[in-house]
Copies of this chain bind each other. A is one copy, B any other.
Amino acid sequence: MRDSDKIAVGIIGASGYGGVQLVRLLLDHPKVEIVYLGGDSSAGKPYSELYPHLGHCFNLTIEPIDLDKVTSRCQVVFLGLPNGLACEIAPTLIEKGCKVLDLSADYRFSNLETYSAWYKKERSDRATAAMAVYGLPELYRDEIRQAQLIGCPGCYPTASLLALAPLLKQGLIVPETAIIDAKSGTSGGGRQAKTNLLLAEADNSLGAYGVTKHRHTPEIEQICSELAGHEIRVQFTPHLIPMVRGILSTVYATMRDPGLVREDLITIYTALYRSSPFIKVLPTGVYPQTKWACGTNLCYIGIEVDPRTDRVIVLSAIDNLIKGQSGQAIQCLNLMMGWQETLGLPQLSFYP
């Protein structure tokens, strides 16, 4: 029998890395119980066949996706589906009263034309989309608290926006000069077997991809434009790093006021993130290592100013699968439910 103090949660699209992170984190969450796993190609499989290490403590079987079942059993539904599928089922879930947290790109855009241009899919769920809130709590905490539908941010936008937001909000930089050089572990590419993500290919190597064309670009620009108060373009270049987890964003921008020193900026960041329990602004001269964030929902931020070039350089490190995906979704859930924001979310990495 289900613990009556806990809310019933379902995950549709549970077989990938987003799914397994949700499962792992929710198993430790004191107010949630996973009652449903839904999938397509993996329907009928016990979850422990996909992830044997969980067999000792979790034995649900993945069920075919049946929205009636989902809505009758679950108060909250996480969607871990490929882009373009969530928007087919979210309207029904919303209508039946579920709270929905979508990990895909489908509900991240306030302008569906932008979505359609970058994701090559027409949308017919405008009313539902209009309800969605962008699930970055450090910027939209109040809106998330009231939301029924969350478009959870991409991993790169999470790291990049947390680094850039204070600069844009305070008008400290020339927005058009912003360049984001981002580096991600290969788990960001998902569990689908792709040749370029094989250890034999990706290990001991390094390269950029999607240069000038990565789909996280418009997502970053949407939020940056909102913060800057006018539409801006940012340069965003992702790189694949020979490691499993973690994103580092190195952000460059020209300062409006060249008189600022790094200590000023550390003070400003610290103040702006004072009520954000997962943001850790580092002291002078300390730059984040992605490993510090691994296995946690934290974002470490290091700040440097170059008086020779009048640029600010901000470095942000997150675990791409936790703060960059599933952990952040749970952080949003905590806010939606009126729980403590940090509930069930790890803050201590296992170093080394």
Contacts and interface: CB of A to CB of B under 8 A. Distances in A.
Given A181-B181, A194-B193, A348-B57, A243 B289 contact: no
A245 interface: yes
Contacts of A28: 348
Contact of A294 (B209, B212, B350): B350
A201 interface: yes
A254 to B, nearest CB: 9
Interface residues of A, number: 87
Contacts of A179: 179, 252, 311
Contacts of A309: 176, 233-235
Report which residue of A17, A176, A295, A306 has the largest number of chain B beta carbons within 10 angstroms of its beta carbon. A306
A229 interface: no
A351 B203 CA distance: 11
B199 A244 contact: yes
Contacts of A352: 17, 20, 187, 191, 200-201, 244-245
Nearest to A306: B212
Contacts of A197: 193, 198-200
A141 interface: no
Contacts of A121: none
A328 interface: no
Contacts of A300: 53
A245 B198 CA distance: 13
Contacts of A313: 208, 211-212, 235, 237
17 contacts: A24-B351, A53-B293, A56-B298, A183-B183, A193-B194, A199-B201, A199-B202, A200-B244, A203-B204, A206-B289, A207-B317, A208-B287, A212-B304, A212-B306, A212-B313, A242-B243, A322-B350
Nearest 6 A/B pairs, CB to CB: A53-B292, A205-B291, A193-B193, A181-B181, A187-B200, A212-B306
Given A207-B317, A244-B352, 19 more contacts: A21-B350, A24-B349, A24-B350, A53-B289, A56-B347, A181-B181, A193-B198, A199-B199, A199-B242, A200-B352, A203-B243, A205-B243, A205-B294, A207-B248, A207-B288, A207-B289, A211-B304, A241-B241, A295-B350
